[in-house]
Structure 1
Amino acid sequence: REDRRGWVAFQLQPPDGTGPSMVFAHRLNDVASQRRFRLFGLDPDARYRVTGDDDAAPQAIGGQKLMDRGLRVELPRAHSAAVLIVEPEA
């Protein structure tokens, strides 16, 4: 029997590390409605604007924080997903 609990997420970014990254997160049949995902390959000294595929206002988060503490993703329903854009602030 397959275990379909937990979360799945992956990060896509340009090979040279510049420009925006995309984060895809999927909540399987898990009881937790939120989870943190540590990102990779960011500039620790830069600030990043995180925009979701919902109507929430974009967030500004430091690169070091995104890599150390992670990006918090909240999905209230099981078997739902989110796409987030993480781009350096100008």
Structure 2
Amino acid sequence: MESEKQTEWSWIEGIVDKNDDHIMITYGDIDDGVFEPIALVAPGPEKEFIVQFLLQPELENEEHQKMLDGARRELNFYLIELKEKDPWGYACYH
């Protein structure tokens, strides 16, 4: 039902406290089972999420750029574009 969904969530870059509730976004191939940590995500104040990228952007490193771009797409999709009433719960489930 559309009335149960919202549109006001956003994410910002910041520091995630690993002792508090958070999820880790990884990048890798499920077939070889090797996953590299890309970002930490935690609920923030109001309708914000805090995202701490663990990889630094390197223009000359196309693989890092690919991983970071993929992480940003996933963050936007799960936390914002789906417009879930509880995007944190949805992201944790998926």
Report the TM-score, using the length of structure 1 for normalisation.
0.29
- Kindly indicate which of the two structures has a greater share of residues assigned to strand: 1
Which structure: greater helix fraction?
2
Higher RCO (CA < 8 A, seq sep 6+):
1
